[in-house]
Structure formats: structure tokens, C-alpha cells
Amino acid sequence: MGFDDLMRRYFGTDDIARLSAAELEAGSERLAVDFGLETDAPRRFALWALMHILGQAPDLDVAFKNPAEQDAARNFMDLCAGAAPPPQ
């Protein structure tokens, strides 16, 4: 699951700047539902990562029961925090 693929699947575009507030909310709701239903660990992590990027991810202890998955999520969060903002 690539980032652009996830964006197109849930939001109909890979350009988040073009989304209205209503489109962002609707896509975020679909994303949250799929996250809750997903049982495949890598796909679930990809959905959580997108939710994190959008500032809508559930807390780690809620999202992941497996300590290794929680550690992976923490590492992802650290990487995101250290990443340079995208060019405007």
C-alpha cells in the first residue's frame, strides 16, 4: 500500500490540499472504519500511519495490542517528527 494509493482510495485524490473539509472528514471516517475492520497487520499499520499523518490516529495502546507493533508505530512517529515539512 503506497501513500498515494491510500490517498486516492480514501479521499479520491493524492493532493490533500485540494480537499474540502467535508471531503477530508468523509475520507477520514472511511479510513477509520477500515482500520477497525482490518486484520492483516501490515495493512492495518499502513492505515494507522496515514491516520497518524492526518493527525487522527488512535493512541498506540488502543491501535495495537502487540508490543512489537507499538514499537514500530513509535519509530514511525519519531521518523515523522524528524522529517522536514513538505515544500509549499
Look at the alpha carbons of 17, 19, 20, 24 in this order and tell me if their dihedral is positive or negative: negative
Distance (Å) of CA 59 to CA 2, 40, 41, 64: 23, 19, 16, 8
Contact 58, 38 (CB under 8 A): no
pTM: 0.86
Confidence of residue 14 (pLDDT cuts 50, 70, 90): confident
60-72 per-position pLDDT tens digit: 999 999 999 999 9
Q: Is the pLDDT of residue 5 over 70?
A: yes
Return the percentage of the chain with pLDDT > 70, whole number: 93
- Determine the pLDDT at residue 16: 87
